[in-house]
């Protein structure tokens, strides 16, 4: 079997990768929806993988893995990797989890991820209202994550929130020291959410990037009594091309509140300090940024050796990303907590795939499918009508 083509299309806002072979078996991968500019990054790797046997996933990846970096380049490589595993599973007639060593669990826990409700503001009442909506969501999430502080508009909407200049533009642009008023407001919002959730549902907080070390410690200590699941990306995070493990270690060592980061990180090498120094309590790579699902599993196992937990990212990864996360998380050791649930990019995306369960999430779990490959597959005849003009040959 040989790879004959590599293509990328934006289908309903979801960047989608197709690896074609001379035996008519196609593999599909996905990229986070925010990266709709990604096509040139994916196609850069085309000539490097043509003619290779896609079932030899690691051999193919050795040709392209080192020629990437933190997102968006790592996103392109990761999508190709998941497509290769999809082909390998289909060719062998087995689900991908069997190729990764077999499943540890028959169903995989997820948290709300891309299931969100309109905030309307950054007041304590807004957070309590949205958390009530989250708790009543039919998926029955056992963990709910919500953005606070610098992960969202709070710095712009709360007067006197921080000492730095308020910026707009790029994702999560604000950072710097909080005022006493700002810190108290964050804590009050967290307390309001916990009042709604009680001890029935775990609360995780996406906080940054943008915190100073001192403010991160103050916040973590201030919420210790609330037993939150974790504080995520306090110092670095989305679109930050470095890790700052030593700064995270200062925070982690100063509190009993679990500290989490890693969604922006590419490759296992960039997790070494975070894990070996126990700089965080939980790592959360995204399989579609970190280098793929085999890379994610390696990091999970290495983290488990060091007493670090795993809660993978996946917000905008779409249904193909959901399938990839389900397969790999089924094989992870017991340090796995839950992965971030990605939803369909549009109302019609479920119509262009086969193998999707209905409902997808029941009581906070996704069942692990036994279909060959990733478990769901694109239906070319159904998807063609949604292709943009410049992607018309995606399935040819």
What is the CATH superfamily name and number for domain 99-373? Answer: Enolase-like C-terminal domain (3.20.20.120)
CA 290 vs. chain centroid, Å, equals 10
CA distance 123 to 358: 36
Task: Report if pTM > 0.85.
Answer: yes
Residues of the chain with CATH 3.20.20.120: 99-373
Number of residues assigned to the chain: 396
Contact at 8 Å (CB) between 376 and 353? Answer: yes
**Residue-by-residue DSSP string for 106-170:** SEEEEE-TT------SSSHHHHHHHHHHHHTSTT--SEEEEE-TTSSTHHHHSTT-BSSPP--SS
**Residue-by-residue DSSP string for 230-296:** EEE-SSS-TT-----HHHHHHHHTT-SS-EEE-TT--SGGGGHHHHHTT--SEE---HHHHT-HHHH
Residue 33 DSSP SS3: coil
**What integer pLDDT is reported at residue 282 of this predicted model?**
99
In whole numbers, what is the pLDDT of the chain averaged over residues?
97
Provide, rounded to the nearest whole percent, the portion of the chain with pLDDT above 70: 100
Contact at 8 Å (CB) between 174 and 122? Answer: no
pLDDT tens digits for 4-29?
Answer: 999 999 999 999 999 999 999 999 99
Over residues 200-226, the mean pLDDT reads 98
For the 3-93+379-391 domain, the top CATH level (class) is: alpha beta
Asked if omega into 255 is within 30° of 0 (cis), the reply is no
Residues of the chain with CATH 3.30.390.10: 3-93+379-391
């Amino acid at each position: 079997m040989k790879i004959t083509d590599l293509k990328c299309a934006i289908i309903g806002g979801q960047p989608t990768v197709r690896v074609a072979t001379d035996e008519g078996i196609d593999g599909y991968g996905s990229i986070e929806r925010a990266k709709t500019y990604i096509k040139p990054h994916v196609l850069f790797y085309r000539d490097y993988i043509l003619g290779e046997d896609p079932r030899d996933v690691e051999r193919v990846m050795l040709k392209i893995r080192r020629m990437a970096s933190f997102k968006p380049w790592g996103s392109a490589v990761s999508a190709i990797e998941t497509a290769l595993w999809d082909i390998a599973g289909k060719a062998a007639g087995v689900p991908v989890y069997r190729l990764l060593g077999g499943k540890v669990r028959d169903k995989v826990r997820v948290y709300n991820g891309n299931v969100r409700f309109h905030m309307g503001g950054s007041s304590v009442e807004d957070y309590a209202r949205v958390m009530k909506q989250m708790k009543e969501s039919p998926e029955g999430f056992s963990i709910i994550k919500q953005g606070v502080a610098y992960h969202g508009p709070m710095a712009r909407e709360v007067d006197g929130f921080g000492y730095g200049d308020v910026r707009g533009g790029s994702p999560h642009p604000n950072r710097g020291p909080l005022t006493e008023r700002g810190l108290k407001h964050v804590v009050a919002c967290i307390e309001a959410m916990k009042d709604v959730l009680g001890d029935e549902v775990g609360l995780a907080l996406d906080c940054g990037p943008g915190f100073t070390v001192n403010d991160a410690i103050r916040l973590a200590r201030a919420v210790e009594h609330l037993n939150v699941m974790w504080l995520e990306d306090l110092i670095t995070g989305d679109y930050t091309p470095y890790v700052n493990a030593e700064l995270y270690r200062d925070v982690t060592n100063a509190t009993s509140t679990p500290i989490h980061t890693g969604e922006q990180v590419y490759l296992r090498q960039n997790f070494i300090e975070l894990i070996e120094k126990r700089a965080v309590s939980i790592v959360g790579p995204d399989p579609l940024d970190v280098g793929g699902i085999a890379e994610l599993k390696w990091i999970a196992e290495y983290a488990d050796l060091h007493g670090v937990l795993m809660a993978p990212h996946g917000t905008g990864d779409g249904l193909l990303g959901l399938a990839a996360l389900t397969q790999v998380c089924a094989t992870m050791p017991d340090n796995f907590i839950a992965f971030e649930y990605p939803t369909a990019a549009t109302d019609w995306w479920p119509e262009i795939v086969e193998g999707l369960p209905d409902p997808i999430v029941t009581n906070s779990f996704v069942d692990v499918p036994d279909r060959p490959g990733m478990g769901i597959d694109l239906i070319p005849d159904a998807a063609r009508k949604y292709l943009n003009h410049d992607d018309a040959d995606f399935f040819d």
